[in-house]
Structure 1
């Protein structure tokens, strides 16, 4: 970790410490009630949520195999280990380890890292589009009698608009990716050269990923897998909320009402800091449940903790086992993937048209 990153983490930790010091006497929190909420959860629902999340890792492997199919036929099961190890690295080391998965896949299938970074980029875009479509569709069926109905409607409109923007952007990049990347490098580069190069590299990666989908069939299969995956993630949120059988505000949540919670959770995970990010994500989801559903803050916090476990941390034991089987050091591979990312950006900057 370089000096700039150390300074960044130090500032973040200091800011969090200040927030805790300012608000600790202003928020009443009953720790006894919090532990009681955790004690009486229905673990049947928790295990169901974990099973749904593990199914999404399998779907990610299948989707990645579809992306690779025009270049190399790879069984989906071959890509399952890199998914487990990669998401474990992100859970432990934060978003700095995001490129662990493409790095491991590139080593496994013996293809250049740049091709797998392209797959990773288009994977992110399909995730964004599928999640937005699931959000907007589910929120469209929210009953008008529910509290905060206007908030749900606005969120649905925004997510649908985002889906359309992604579709238009994908079309433009597919037709003129080099021009778009050059424009981004020139404009953003006026403020920050490194940021301009990074954005340009991502656009080129997205273009290369789109070019990997050679047929309408591949596109349709990928879109269907992405939608199914995000539906399963949504139901994992529902199962976790329903585990709080003694809290009516959570036990009665419908799929559509869970969408705002899911959006808040995803927003809280965008800047995933090592370990510290776990607590910030719990705080974000707890605040959402308390505000949107009227759940007691203790129950909301307990549910936020279990949501983190079900949707994010449950992969760690499996990832650690796989890393031992495949003789992979998580810290080393995270560092190597970060260094490889910088080299890939530099290479793309030199070859972009």
Structure 2
């Protein structure tokens, strides 16, 4: 499918998701809710969002340590421009992030991409741990009769959890084989790509070979511990970035469990609804967590979703545009890179 077609489909999904969140709220109610927000808390929330990206850059530096020593500040450009490229279809931002890193640090695209794959693997593990914590200590939050598009939220959450576990296991096995049993790993790769034409097989094998070089970090237990701690910091900041908004809207339930549930629901919906810049999908996750599950006023939940999305979008866009201008990256080149990849 052409990129333009993917973008159109993504926008249609975003529009449908936004409609889902605002269908029971009048525009006047929504505008009134914005005027009653305690705006001081929004600045705290935005600061936490900025710190989240700083923590991501620190973690990425650790991931790159066995390949190349870099300074955290040098990773600001590929990180923020890559996240800004989340407005492009098919989650192209991650690929652009790898491309920009490789170009800036003189690394192969596949090696740079490998560090991002390991990064996302740790993110998935932490998300699953948060999900498990909810199931063990706050199972009542997920034991509701609430449905989305006719599918019970409980079913969506459990299916998401099972799919995530399957993906984590598959990635762990693949990374383990390439890192500690390289020949077996390559045999598996050859078997998987056997149906493809020989020319494509050759390119894929070359890519996997360079990809394996980016996995050097998994051979160091010390670095893995640091990456886990950095990932825990990233997710602590992700969770806490929403907490000031609880006070901005004076919500009733200001508990840690509530914030973790909100974060998990957002992650579920931005995954199953891959909209440009998460517009609509993030809003749907907020509405279900705050209004449907925690019984907060619907207009407050809808307004909360738009403000949370808008603050994060502002941080990403300002950061991305700054580094585009600073590093003289043209937007046209980003689109061309996305199409090439």
Q: Give the shorter-chain TM-score range.
A: 0.7 to 0.9
SS at match of 2:265: helix
- Residue pair 1:66, 1:222 contacting (<8 A) in 2 also: yes
Determine the structure 2 residue equivalent to 1:174: 176
- For 1:109-160, what per-residue CA distance to the aligned partner results, in whole angstroms no more than 9, with x for missing partners? 111222101111111111111222233235533386x6848988x9699859
Determine the structure 2 residue equivalent to 1:110: 106
Determine the structure 2 residue equivalent to 1:264: 265
Determine the structure 2 residue equivalent to 1:281: 282
RCO comparison, higher one (Cα < 8 Å, 6+): 2
Out of 210, 216, 220, the residue aligned to residue 215 of structure 2 is: 210
- Residue pair 1:140, 1:156 contacting (<8 A) in 2 also: no
The TM-score normalised by the length of structure 2 is: 0.78
Out of 32, 35, 51, the residue aligned to residue 36 of structure 1 is: 32
Change (3 A) 1:291 1:185: farther
SS at match of 2:37: coil
Change (3 A) 1:244 1:121: same
**Which ranges in structure 1 are unaligned for 5 or more consecutive residues?**
342-353
Out of 122, 136, 146, the residue aligned to residue 140 of structure 1 is: 136
- Residue pair 1:85, 1:322 contacting (<8 A) in 2 also: yes
Determine the structure 2 residue equivalent to 1:56: 52
- Residue pair 2:80, 2:319 contacting (<8 A) in 1 also: yes
1:332 & 1:295 partners in 2: Cα distance?
Answer: 44
2:89 & 2:302 partners in 1: Cα distance?
Answer: 23
Out of 219, 226, 246, the residue aligned to residue 224 of structure 2 is: 219
- 308-317 or 90-99: bigger deviation: 90-99
1:278 & 1:37 partners in 2: Cα distance?
Answer: 19
- 45-54 or 162-171: bigger deviation: 162-171
2:164 & 2:317 partners in 1: Cα distance?
Answer: 32
Out of 126, 130, 133, the residue aligned to residue 126 of structure 2 is: 130
1:306 & 1:18 partners in 2: Cα distance?
Answer: 19
The TM-score normalised by the length of structure 1 is: 0.76
1:19 & 1:88 partners in 2: Cα distance?
Answer: 21
- For 1:204-238, what per-residue CA distance to the aligned partner results, in whole angstroms no more than 9, with x for missing partners? 78754433333110111011101111111011122
Out of 4, 7, 14, the residue aligned to residue 5 of structure 2 is: 7
Question: Which residues in structure 2 correspond to 1:1-353 (within 5 Å)?
Answer: 4-11=2-9, 27-91=23-87, 95-137=91-133, 140-142=136-138, 148=143, 159=161, 162=164, 166=168, 169-171=171-173, 173-175=175-177, 176=181, 177-185=185-193, 207-245=212-250, 247-248=251-252, 252-270=253-271, 271-274=273-276, 277-339=278-340, 341=341
2:289 & 2:126 partners in 1: Cα distance?
Answer: 22
